[in-house]
Homo-oligomer: A and B are copies of this chain.
Amino acid sequence: MHSTMRQALLAGLAMGLLGNAVAADLKPEEQIQTRQAGYRFMSWNMGKIKANLEGDYSQPQVQAAAEAIAGIANSGMGALYGPGTDQDIGDVKTRVKPELFTNQKEVGEVAVAFIEAANTIAETAQLGDKAEVKAAFNELGQSCKGCHDKFRKD
């Protein structure tokens, strides 16, 4: 696929723009909880990959973890940043910075970098070469950090 088209498709996926039934039925506080659920679940799977890279390497476990991350990354989480989700709602707290809702170009860039890194580790994990998975894992971690640094409060 042509690189520009691919980027546009990924950006569309990232922003939840494909299809119209994305988060319409979730209240703002549920959108915050759902996006945090996605990040929490990915974090657990990042931890598993890290533990495998630092210790005994289980290819099936790493592949399963990488595919969970890629599945979540590709699910259109951008739809979970709807109107009203830019600040705490009662007990539902968010660390998102206001810039995420105004700087669409940069958000698209970090989102595409994240999705591409997630897809790369999912593909790499199938082959089972620990060194390649380690490189893909580091790149994925950088893509997480890239968004946190710009769009998440400390």
List the B side residues contacting A55 at CB < 8 Å.
20-21
- Give A46-86 as 1s and 0s: 1 = Cβ < 8 Å from B's Cβ atoms: 01100110011010111011011111101110001000000
Is residue A127 contacting chain B, with contact meaning CB distance below 8 A?
no
Question: How many copies of this chain are found per oligomer?
Answer: 2
For residue A38, CB closer than 8 A to chain B, the reply is yes
Q: Is A19 an interface residue (CB 8 A)?
A: yes
Q: Which of B34, B51, B70 contacts A44 (CB 8 A)?
A: B34
How many A residues touch B, CB cutoff 8 Å?
Answer: 41
Q: Is A144 an interface residue (CB 8 A)?
A: no
Q: Which residue of B lies closest to A56 (CB)?
A: B20
Q: Do A76 and B51 form a contact, CB below 8 Å, given A19-B56, A56-B19, A71-B71?
A: no
Question: Given A33-B40, A37-B38, A40-B33, A19 and B72 touching (CB < 8 A)?
Answer: no
Residue of B18, B20, B25, B34 near A41 (CB, 8 A) is B34
Binding site for B on A (CB under 8 A): 13, 18-26, 33-34, 36-38, 40-41, 44-45, 47-48, 51-52, 55-56, 58, 60-62, 64-65, 67-72, 74-76, 80
